[in-house]
């Protein structure tokens, strides 16, 4: 099977410092794949390697079966790269910026005009086409930057933390655009350190830290593989933790308890019975869905927000 992205054993050092340590991962065609990791995890390095901007010390990287490390033009046509830092000419209008970037990709004339109109529509900035970019908000600049990466109709779009520091309206536009691109069959590789973005957008993900893939797969797969299983119980009156003795470690949360367990269904039954024996009424009793946050914490020992 040809993957949209296939990275095998990518290793990269800067000076003596290891940025990537044998990164191996595959992105299926048509998926929206999230690279989730804290600052310095290696997300940008992975994306730059994949876009052919830097070379690894060892390992291979291919896009739709084509080697990206050889710098072949036919691979570049397949990729739209949105770097972390916005690269636009501030004094030029959105239209002139897009004309410049489109021509760099070899699109010209009436076809380029059509494509510029289409991408400006997609990013919701058609009415600002003639305004200088210097007058745009950070979020609007980011949207023009994304538009520039779409002009040559890439099959894979790589976005490096596109929502950092932007307004909610632009963030929503970017999300909607990504969903639209995905519906049109474009594969998206999206890096972020916001877990909720991966949950909202991505069907598959890799959690990376210190240049290593800690886990990867579908969101549900990752959650069920690594997520702590637990049950939440709230009762009237409030019961003390010993009721859960033998069920699992209990910690007070809100008006009730979270009880960790490997067997949530059995735990539900045992807690219900325990409460009945104590003569207390169960107000709420449910299985706690593992979250990416707890998975990340269990894999790395740190929360992403601490970084
Ligand atoms: N040009 C460079 N020279 C030296 N070290 C670098 C360079 N670029 C990245 N690094 C180091 O490589 C490691 C991985 O960095 P990278 O930028 O890929 O991480 P990241 O996950 O994208 O983080 P961020 O969200 O901060 O961009 C970090 O320790 C970083 O300091």
pLDDT tens digit sequence for 4-28: 999 999 999 999 899 999 999 999 9
Over residues 133-138, the mean pLDDT reads 93
Check whether 307 has a pLDDT greater than 50. no
Candidate from 11, 17, 18, 19 with most ligand 1 atoms within 8 A of CB, to mutate: 19
Output the CA 224–ligand 1 centroid distance in Å: 30
Tokens linked to 218? 């579908």
The complex's ipTM works out to 0.96
Residue 45 CB less than 6 A away from ligand 1: yes
pLDDT, tens digit, 9 for 90 and up, residues 202-241:
999 999 999 999 999 999 899 888 777 788 998 888 777 6
Instruction: State residue 166's pLDDT score.
Output: 87
Q: Is the CB of 307 under 6 A from ligand 1?
A: no
Mean pLDDT throughout 112-135?
Answer: 93
Domain limits of the chain? 3-224, 229-289
For range 195-201, the mean pLDDT: 91
Tokens of 241: 């933790």
What's the mean pLDDT in 191-211? 93
Question: 219-224 — which CB contacts under 8 Å span 24+ positions?
Answer: 219/292, 222/292, 222/295, 223/289, 223/290, 223/291, 223/292, 223/295, 224/290
Indicate if the pLDDT at residue 178 is higher than 80.
yes
Q: What pLDDT score does 1 carry?
A: 66
**Cα distance between residue 152 and residue 82, in whole Å:** 13
Of 10, 13, 34, 41, the one to substitute when testing ligand 1's pocket (max ligand atoms within 8 A of C-beta) is 41
> How far is C-alpha 26 from the chain's CA centre?
14
> Which one is predicted more confidently, 245 or 122?
122
Looking at the domain 3-224, which fold is it?
Answer: Rossmann fold (3.40.50)
Distance 166 CA to ligand 1 centre (A): 21
Cβ neighbours of residue 296 under 8 Å, at least 6 residues apart? 36, 195, 207, 302, 303, 304
């Amino acid at each position: 099977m040809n993957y949209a992205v296939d990275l095998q054993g990518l290793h990269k050092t800067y000076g003596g410092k290891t940025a990537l340590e044998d990164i191996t991962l595959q992105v299926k065609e048509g998926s929206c794949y999230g690279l989730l990791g804290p600052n310095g995890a290696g997300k940008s390095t992975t994306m730059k390697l994949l876009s052919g901007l830097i070379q690894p010390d060892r390992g291979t990287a291919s896009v739709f079966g084509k080697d990206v490390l050889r710098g072949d033009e036919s691979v570049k046509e397949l990729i739209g790269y949105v770097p972390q830092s916005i690269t636009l000419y501030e004094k030029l209008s959105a239209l002139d910026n897009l004309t410049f970037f489109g021509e760099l990709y070899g699109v010209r004339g009436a076809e380029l005009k059509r494509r510029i109109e289409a991408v400006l529509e997609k990013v919701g900035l058609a009415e600002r086409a003639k305004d200088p970019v210097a007058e745009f908000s950070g979020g609007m600049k980011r949207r023009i930057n994304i538009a520039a990466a779409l002009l040559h109709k890439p099959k894979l779009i790589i976005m490096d933390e596109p929502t950092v520091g932007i307004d909610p309206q632009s963030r929503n536009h970017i999300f909607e655009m990504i969903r639209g691109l995905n519906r049109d069959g474009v594969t998206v590789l999206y890096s972020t350190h916001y877990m909720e973005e991966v949950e909202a957008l991505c069907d598959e993900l890799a959690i990376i830290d210190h240049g290593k893939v800690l886990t990867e797969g579908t969101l549900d797969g990752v959650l069920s593989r690594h997520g702590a299983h637990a049950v939440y119980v709230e009762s009237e009156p409030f019961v003390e933790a010993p009721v859960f003795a033998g069920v699992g470690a209990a910690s007070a949360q809100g008006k009730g308890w979270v009880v960790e367990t490997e067997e949530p269904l059995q735990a539900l039954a045992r807690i219900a019975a325990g409460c009945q024996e104590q003569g207390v009424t169960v107000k709420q009793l449910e299985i706690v869905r593992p979250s990416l946050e707890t998975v990340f914490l269990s894999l790395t020992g740190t929360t992403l927000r601490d970084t």
